[in-house]
Amino acid sequence: MPAGTSRGVGRPPARAKARPGGSRRRRNAVTAWLFAAPFVLIFGVFMLGPLVSSFLMSFTDFTSRDIDNPLAVGFVGLDQYAALFKNPQFLHSVLNTAYFVLAGIPLTTVLALALAVALNNGITRFRTAFRVGFYTPVVTSIVAVAVVWRFILQPDGLLNIILSWVGIAGPDWLNSTTWSMPALIMLAVWRNLGTLMIIFLAGLQTVPADILEAAEVDGASAWQRFMKITLPMLRPTLLLGTVLLSVGFLQFFEEPFVMTKGGPLDSTLSVSYFTFNQFGFGKYGLASAASYVLFVAIALLSLIQFRALRSKD
């Protein structure tokens, strides 16, 4: 590094040169916004704009027929949300989504943690192969794997054949209002296990080995070491992983779309699917309102995440 550069080191350059009437700062502003321009343009038009429009649209009776004349739509205000929360199908979709998240998240978390701990403890050979194996479902298109799962979940399909080996008569998974959701949860757990396992594996590496060694020397059993040291130190990672996964699970759409079409009898209709259906019926206002309910749920979860992580520092 040339000696002449040391002047700028460790000091914010812009502030150091702010004396000549802020011209440096103005030039900076132009350059910076030029750098940001392509992103800001696309971001504004295709993300921020629609986000705001969606909010506004949720207070109107906008339908597919109003596309050519958006100014003629009627303002219905909060009545839209009142109607939404009186819509039995929507309420059903909220319950279904909650069921999916509340059953799917703990199941995925426990399994992923078990796999991560197993991989982290004593597994030195084939570690990469195991990681690749567990992560493969994550990279594949849900639409493509749903096809084979539909085949596996047939009444006389592979899963029920395997269950019959241990004496269990499996149900007609996808045509039963009781078993359709467990079937989709099974699919979701299978598909998301890898992501969570990788996050937990990264977290496990941050648990200092010397503390674990010291505990072992003091006579703590493996289970005690896990419960008293590893688990508490892993808390931020566990929280991050589960919140990230919940945000994904709340948007539950593709599984029911390809597997069950939301049925039977709306038993797998999710909030996203409800939104998609209302959009299909041309009820853009109602669809927007439903999507905003989902957004608020996701935003709340994310806020909890940021809170919890900040309090860690």
Partner 1 sequence: MTIPETAPTFPRAQAERTTAGGTTAGGTQVPTSPPVPARRRRTGRRLSTRRALIYVALLVAVTATLLPFAWMLLGAFKTQGELLRRPITWWPEQPTLENFVAWFTELQIGTFFLNSVVVAVFTVLGNLLFCSMVGYALAKIDFPGKRFLFLLVMVMLMVPGVVTFVPLFVLVSKLGMVSTYPALILPFLAAPMGVFLMRQFIAGIPDSLIEAARIDGAGELRTFLRIVMPLCGPPLATLGILTFLGSWNNFLWPLVVAQSEEMYTLPVALSLYSTGQNATDYGLLLAGSVLVITPIILLFVALQKYFIQGVAATGIK
Question: Could you tell me the CA-to-CA distances from 117 to 110, 114, 225, 249 in Å, in that order?
Answer: 11, 5, 12, 24
- Please, which residues have CB within 8 angstroms of residue 121's CB and are 6 or more apart in sequence? none
Shortest distance (Å) from residue 68 CB to partner 1: 8
Coil, strand or helix at 268: coil
Q: Which one among 59, 90, 173, 257 touches partner 1, defined by CB under 8 A?
A: 257
E-strand ranges in the chain read: none
Please, which residue, 104 or 241, has the CB nearer to partner 1?
A: 241
Give backbone dihedrals phi and psi of 75, rounded to 5 degrees, phi first: -90, 120
Is 264 an interacting residue with respect to partner 1 (CB under 8 A)? Answer: no
Between CA 79 and CA 213 the distance in angstroms is 62
Work out the number of other CB atoms within 10 angstroms of the CB of residue 264: 16
Choices 87-95, 98-106, 139-147, 171-179; region in contact with partner 1 by CB under 8 A: 139-147
Shortest distance (Å) from residue 91 CB to partner 1: 18
Is 95 an interacting residue with respect to partner 1 (CB under 8 A)? Answer: no
Between CA 1 and CA 4 the distance in angstroms is 8
Shortest distance (Å) from residue 281 CB to partner 1: 12
Q: Which one among 152, 220, 229, 231 touches partner 1, defined by CB under 8 A?
A: 152
Shortest distance (Å) from residue 200 CB to partner 1: 10
Question: Could you tell me the CA-to-CA distances from 242 to 71, 110, 247, 250, 267 in Å, in that order?
Answer: 43, 10, 9, 12, 25
Is 294 an interacting residue with respect to partner 1 (CB under 8 A)? Answer: yes
Instruction: Count the site residues for partner 1 by CB under 8 A.
Output: 120
Q: How far apart are the first and last CA of the chain?
A: 35
- Please, which residues have CB within 8 angstroms of residue 217's CB and are 6 or more apart in sequence? none
Is 298 an interacting residue with respect to partner 1 (CB under 8 A)? Answer: yes
- In the window 68-87, what residues touch partner 1 (CB under 8 A)? 70
Cβ-contact 203, 312 below 8 angstroms: no
Q: Which one among 188, 199, 234, 238 touches partner 1, defined by CB under 8 A?
A: 199
- In the window 9-68, what residues touch partner 1 (CB under 8 A)? 9-10, 12-15, 25, 28-29, 31-33, 35-36, 38-40, 42-43, 45-51, 53-54, 57, 67
Please, which residue, 92 or 131, has the CB nearer to partner 1?
A: 131
Q: Which one among 81, 99, 135, 226 touches partner 1, defined by CB under 8 A?
A: 135
